[in-house]
Amino acid sequence: MTHLNTWLTKATGVRIPIIQGGMMWVGKAELTSAVANAGALGFITAFAQPSPEALSLEIRKCKKLTDKPFGVNLTLLPSINPPDYKAYAQAALDEGIRIFETAGNPLPVFKLLKDNGAVVIHKCISIRHALRAEALGADAISIDGYECAGHPGEDDVTSLILLAKAARVLKIPYIASGGFADARACAAAFSMGASGVNMGTRWLCTVEAPVHMAVKEQITKAKETDTQLILRAFRNTSRVYKNDVSVETARIEREKPGVKFEDVRELVAGARGSTVYSTGNVEAGVWSVGQCIGVIDDIPTCAELASRLEREIIEILTETPKRIIVEDRDNSSKL
């Protein structure tokens, strides 16, 4: 059988060069193991666990569910009470994890990870950040476009442009992230030189994702315009599902003179947003989704999704050259 073989498959040992990136409240053992068993690369979200010890237990749980490679996501963002980043990283290393997805500022953990022989894929929302991570010694860059769920940054540059620029300036492999949910988009990323594709919202809408079915059903009904950018006033932009809470948050930011984070704190509280996943009430708080919700219309198992994507990507990449005729118009001969 024909397979996609890239830097990602060679470096990590997975069969399909598609990633389930870190997702707060979602990147748990049941989803990560299902992605791994499907042949793709899943990541447990470290800081969704309350302590390094809890992360160790989650990794052990995942190992009981799969014997395939998987990794751990470490997203290091500014925080009032930051977790002990090194303790979480060390806990993962002690459990034998050697594949990491990092985001934000990787400096607190980068040397520790590399000294232990880890493969580090650093997620960036700009080329300037990607070049810094490359200089630091990252093994690959996951370049995250404006379409993405969660934090797209403040530059508002799409995946199409970021991938084209990454191909020009990066010397290390790069992964396409932000706006990818179907085979045609993934095939486009591979044709632009990406070594893999990172998906979040698409994996959220699978049977094994640990969220309420009502949330998944809402995603299948949504349009690409059903997302909302919030926290722009504080230069901490986040793309979330457009509901009454997120629309009100954006209105306050837009209309209140001298708006402060305290004015929206209760609306965007993480604990409130997490209840969306547990109760299925999609209006309970803010929850992250990307613009790719507009091309998601089913709820497959992870195995079904991975197999379908692999098959369709190969078909598209194989058939596209046959559909395009390069013609020398001076002598009308087809090349």
Could you tell me the sign of the dihedral formed by the alpha carbons of 249, 251, 252, 254, in that order?
positive
Q: Mean per-residue pLDDT for 19-43?
A: 97
Please say if the pLDDT value at position 326 is more than 70. Answer: no
pLDDT tens by residue, 222-268: 999 999 999 999 999 999 999 999 999 999 999 999 999 999 999 99
Distance of alpha carbon 289 from alpha carbon 208, whole angstroms: 17
| Global pTM value | 0.94
Closest Cα partner for 240 from 273, 209, 271, 199?
273
In a domain, 278, yes or no: no
Total domains present in the chain = 1
**pLDDT band at residue 79, thresholds of 50, 70 and 90?**
confident
Q: Could you tell me the CATH number of the domain that includes residue 97?
A: 3.20.20.70
**pLDDT band at residue 327, thresholds of 50, 70 and 90?**
low
pLDDT value for 329: 65
Q: Which residue has the higher pLDDT, 279 or 321?
A: 279
Collapsing DSSP to helix, strand or coil, 221 comes out as helix
In a domain, 206, yes or no: no
Distance of alpha carbon 213 from alpha carbon 200, whole angstroms: 17
In a domain, 173, yes or no: yes
What are residue 289's phi and psi, to 5 degrees? Answer: -150, 155
Q: Beta partners for 3?
A: none
Q: Mean per-residue pLDDT for 21-38?
A: 96
How many residues comprise the chain?
335
DSSP 171: S
Distance of alpha carbon 102 from alpha carbon 122, whole angstroms: 5
pLDDT tens by residue, 93-136: 999 999 999 999 999 999 999 999 999 999 999 999 999 999 99
Please say if the pLDDT value at position 332 is more than 60. Answer: no
**pLDDT band at residue 3, thresholds of 50, 70 and 90?**
confident
Please say if the pLDDT value at position 335 is more than 60. Answer: no
Q: Which domain holds residue 107?
A: 7-199
In a domain, 235, yes or no: no
